[in-house]
Amino acid sequence: MDRNELKKILPHREPMLLVDEAELKEENHAVGRYTVRGDEWFLQGHFPGRMIVPGVVQCEMIAQTCCVLLADQVKGKLPLFAGLDRVRFKNKVLPGDTLVMECSLVKSRPPFYFAKGKGSVNGKLAVTAELSFALIPEDKG
């Protein structure tokens, strides 16, 4: 899926759409990619002269990739974080890097879903996390 196809699933739009492409590898395994250009809003001031992708943004990238696992359930719903657990940052993600996010669904109790994910750059682990989120009906008003 490219960004246009992802927009059919996710409610996010630029500049908050943080996945360039994603695919469902297996029934319960999604992979997404985001290449850090260096001009993103979240790099401004983080840190001047030594830009690093903030950890919370990396977690958001994983979460958006998780939505690919639930493409049919996400449509017409608003995916909201319910929790982040066991988050670990192993290496920096810098401008020019492509963060490859992998995630899988651990369990579900609709409207709540529980997943685990990781992100790596050039095969080197950058972030791991356990995520929970809720899919709530989208309020158009």
Query: What amino acid positions are annotated as catalytic residues?
Result: 46
Burial of 53 (0-12, 13-18, 19+ CB in 10 A): buried
Give the integer Cα–Cα distance in Å for 86 and 71: 25
Nearest alpha-carbon partner for 74 in 25, 17, 116, 11: 11
The residues with which 36 forms a beta bridge, in sequence order, are none
Give the integer Cα–Cα distance in Å for 139 and 100: 32
